Amino acid sequence: MPEHIFTNAWLVTATDVLRGTIAVRDGLIHDVSESASSLPHAQDMNGDYLMPGFVELHTDNLEKFMNPRPGVDWPSESAILAHDAQVVAAGITTVFDALSIGDINPGGSRLRQLPLMLKAIRQAASDGHTRAEHRLHLRCELSQEKTLDVFRDLVGSPLVQLVSVMDHSPGQRQFVKMEKYREYYQGKYHLSDTQMETFIGQQLENSRRYSDIYRRAIVDECRRRTLSIASHDDATVAHARESAEFGMSIAEFPTTMEAASASHAFGLKVLMGAPNIVRGGSHSGNVSARMLAEQDVLDILSSDYYPSSLLQAVGMLAHGEIGYDLPRAVACVSLAPARAAGLADRGEIRPGLRADLIRARPHEERFVVGQVWRGGERVF
């Protein structure tokens, strides 16, 4: 690959913001300096920011392209490419596509679509059609009968690097407030009051029968394969302690300050949704990501369902009164998720790491993506 030199840029490293130059060779960051380059092939960034490419650990954005309307199944490879284009345009150069194992929806299509999505991701990457690097995050819904069998069928894929375990049954974790559970699922699945009562009873019974057994079996298999493991919706100190004892590295979306603080103290990296920052709170009525940031227990941001929320949240964290400077805000979407997922070759601007870079132009208190490079190759 040819050498690329990017000069006259504000470089966001893991600790500082420097005015200078980055040299890229063979897809890697070769040199970082605080001087300007006068070489004729150097690209003048005109004072824009260069940030490390974002690492997205938990997004179900692909599902929106697989089912753009109720009852519409879109061709899977076309859906992958549309999803891929959107995440790259948001500055995401490494994306963990979250595949849901276990469908709470009584009439849902998630289990049927799983093999289609997996095949499409593999094929598009193999053909060189994807611009971001795609890896897989298996989201294991513990309170569903088929979850363990499907997990065992999929976990051997070389694309799988992250697994999370979750239980969305009513009255606990994300849905401690029953009125929020009813509001969310009755509205989402258009259930009558009678159907909703039956639905609640079935979810409670499934959780009682499967959740604890499946949690242990899945965690044991992940540890045997040295995969990164995430808890999900921990609500109490006991939940956080259990996750730490299981050897998990990430605490996804803790629902209370108590659980987030305990997770952080136990050494788990606390992950919250960037939309939570942008919107100013949780759509489920749980603890806000901003509050966790103010208490210094927020480590990682995920776009969850809205890719461009990552860069918008970075701007809000860095320009707000929370106490995050720009390097720390950027690390929440680059270095911290990369390390938590076991990726040591990316996530910051440093010689020897992959040249995954974002050119971002400041606009008021936010940023706009201008260009994106993955492994030194421009992809946006």
Residue 89 forms part of a structural domain: yes
| pLDDT of the residue at 106 | 56
3-state helix, strand, coil in the chain (%, to 5): 40, 25, 35
Buried b (16+ CB within 10 A) or exposed e, 133-153: bbbbbbbbbbbbeebbebbee
Three-state secondary structure call for residue 75: coil
Nearest-CA neighbor of 356 among 329, 368, 342, 338?
A: 338
The first and second tokens of residue 76, run together, are 């899977």
**205 in a structural domain:** yes
Which of 85, 131, 55 lies closest to 334 in space, CA to CA?
55
Measured in degrees and rounded to the nearest 5, phi and psi for residue 162 equal: -140, 135
Q: Where are the alpha helices (DSSP H) in the chain?
A: 61-66, 76-89, 110-126, 147-154, 178-189, 193-224, 237-245, 257-265, 274-279, 289-294, 309-319, 326-331, 335-340
Asked whether residue 355 is assigned to any structural domain, the reply reads no
- In angstroms, the CA 134 to CA 159 distance is 8
Phi-psi region of 353 (alpha: psi -120 to 50; beta: other; left: phi over 0): beta
* 171 C-beta neighbours (distance < 10 Å), count: 13
CB atoms within 10 A of CB 118: 19
Is residue 153 predicted with pLDDT exceeding 70? yes
Cβ pair 219, 238 in contact under 8 A: no
pLDDT digits (tens, 9 = 90+) for 210-260: 989 999 999 999 999 999 999 999 999 999 999 999 999 999 999 999 999
Is 133 among the domain residues? yes
pLDDT at 285 over 70: no
CATH number of the domain to which 192 belongs: 3.20.20.140
64: tokens are 């929106």
360, containing H or E segment: strand 357-363
Question: Domain for residue 48, yes or no?
Answer: no
What CA–CA distance (Å, rounded) separates 378 from 380?
Answer: 6
pLDDT tens digits, one per residue of 333-376: 999 999 999 999 999 999 999 999 999 999 988 899 999 999 99
- Model pLDDT for residues 172-219, shown as the tens digit of each residue: 676 767 777 777 777 777 888 888 888 888 888 888 889 899 999 999
**Domain total of the chain:** 1
Closest C-alpha to 34, from 5, 11, 4, 3: 11
Q: Per the structure block, which two tokens stand in for 349?
A: 């601007």
**273 pLDDT band (50/70/90 cuts)?**
very high
pLDDT for residue 283: 64
In a domain, 36, yes or no: no
Q: Which amino acid is at 75?
A: P
Which pLDDT score, from 0 to 100, does residue 133 have? Answer: 97
- Which is nearest to 6 in space by CA: 268, 362, 356? 356
* 204: in domain: yes
Assigned token pair, 93: 């150069």
Domain residue limits at 157: 53-346
The answer to whether 339 and 347 are in contact (CB under 8 A) is: yes
143 within a domain of the structure (yes/no): yes
